[in-house]
Amino acid sequence: MRDYPRLVSVFNKYRPDVVFHAAAHKHVPLMESCPQEAIRNNVFGTMNVARAASLHGVKKFIFISTDKAVNPSSVMGATKKMGEMIIQSFDQNSETVFAAVRFGNVLGSHGSVIPLFKRQIAEGGPVTVTHPDIVRYFMTIPEASRLVIQAGGLAKGGEIFILNMGEPVKIVDLATKLIQLSGLRPDKDIKIEFTGLRPGEKLYEELWTDSEKTAATSIKDIMISTDDPVSPKEVEQKLQELAESLDGSSHDIKVCLSKQIPTYKPRFTESDYDEVEFD
């Protein structure tokens, strides 16, 4: 999706009516160390797909966002918030209906803790959890798929739909239950080891900000953010500043990203201050 001419050729060939845009770099700690790649992919890649969809008369474009976009503590979350802004910006100047769907973790998806815990249990442990108090929202793949498609059906343009994720789950409780379901005893047969929060990681995620207004929809488990979108002109300026920052250090890029997303509070490491070297 970073290759716009190739995207255009794919759209020319297949002429899709509906696009569900789920492609993204989503590994939080890795994106902390590679903010350039997160922005190139999650921000400018999203812009490319949205542009191609609008150009080729796609009827509906649904952007898959994340709870990590709310008050982001990570580069990954901040880039997904930029993606929401881009989608709402395109909707204001296109015949294509653009909307976003925001939700939490999907059980069993690529990168989910469930396959990791199962593998660690099969290897005799330990099962690694970052923090004893860390909690996450979870949803199954069928639930997430169904609600995303239903939100797409509701979309009339510019919405950010928020899926009801139920109550958050403590990750240590999830690890304990998986060990027990394997016929083993936690901390006796299989040790649970706490490794510390990873770069960019929060103890808990949120589905909307304290100041964000939400409203119900005709579907019980789908809400909608009613906040006003950022203007296309402002989004264009944000993208220009982000593009200009990409040749700088990770520190400079994160500072620039925090300027575009005021709710993003970056965390810096020593490596962030290293200048990018080019041949």
Give dist(CA 243, CA 36) in Å, integer.
9
Give dist(CA 239, CA 233) in Å, integer.
10
Residue spans of beta strands (DSSP E) within the chain: 18-21, 60-64, 97-102, 105-107, 127-129, 135-136, 138-140, 160-163, 169-170, 192-194, 214-216, 222-225
Instruction: At 200, list the tokens.
Output: 């960019």
Q: Tokens 């249990």, residue?
A: 121
Catalytic residue (choose from 60, 68, 80, 202) = 68
Closest CA to 139 of 119, 176, 114: 114
Instruction: At 261, list the tokens.
Output: 């997303």
Give dist(CA 105, CA 205) in Å, integer.
10
* Contact predicate 61/87, CB 8 Å: yes
68 is catalytic: yes
Give catalytic residue positions: 68
